[in-house]
Amino acid sequence: MFIIQSYSTAILFCIVTMICWGSWANTQKLASKSWRFELFYWDYVIGILLFSILSAFTLGSMGESGRSFVADLQQADTQNLISALLGGVIFNAANILFSAAIALAGMAVAFPVGIGIALVLGVLINYWGQQQGNPLFIFTGVGLIVIAILLNALAYKKSNTSGGKVSSKGIIISIVAGILMSFFYKFIADSMDLSNFEQPAIGKMTPYSAVFIFTVGIFISNFLFNTILMRKPFSGSAVSYKDYFGGNFKTHLVGILGGLIWGLGNSFNLIAAGMAGPAISYGLGQGATLIAAFWGVIVWKEFKGAPKSNNSILAAMFIAYLIGLGLIVMAK
- Across residues 93-104, what is the average pLDDT? 90
Give the residue, 77 or 301, on which the prediction is more confident: 77
Confidence of residue 165 (pLDDT cuts 50, 70, 90): low
Nearest to 38 by CA among 250, 240, 249, 217: 240
Q: How confident is the model at residue 160 (pLDDT cuts 50, 70, 90)?
A: low
What confidence tens digit (pLDDT) does each residue in 241-274 have? 999 999 999 999 999 999 999 999 999 999 999 9
DSSP state of 60: T
DSSP 35: S
Residue 163 pLDDT exceeds 90: no
Q: What is the structure's pLDDT at 162? A: 47
Q: What is this structure's pTM?
A: 0.87
Where is average pLDDT lowest: 154-168, 178-192, 259-273? 154-168
Concatenate the DSSP letters of all residues of 164-204 into one string: ----HHHHHHHHHHHHHHHHHHHHHHHTB-TT-SSSPPTT-
Rounded to whole angstroms, how far apart are CA atoms 156 and 62? 48
Model pLDDT for residues 24-83, shown as the tens digit of each residue: 989 998 898 889 999 999 999 999 999 999 999 999 998 888 899 999 999 999 999 999
Average pLDDT for 100-113: 79
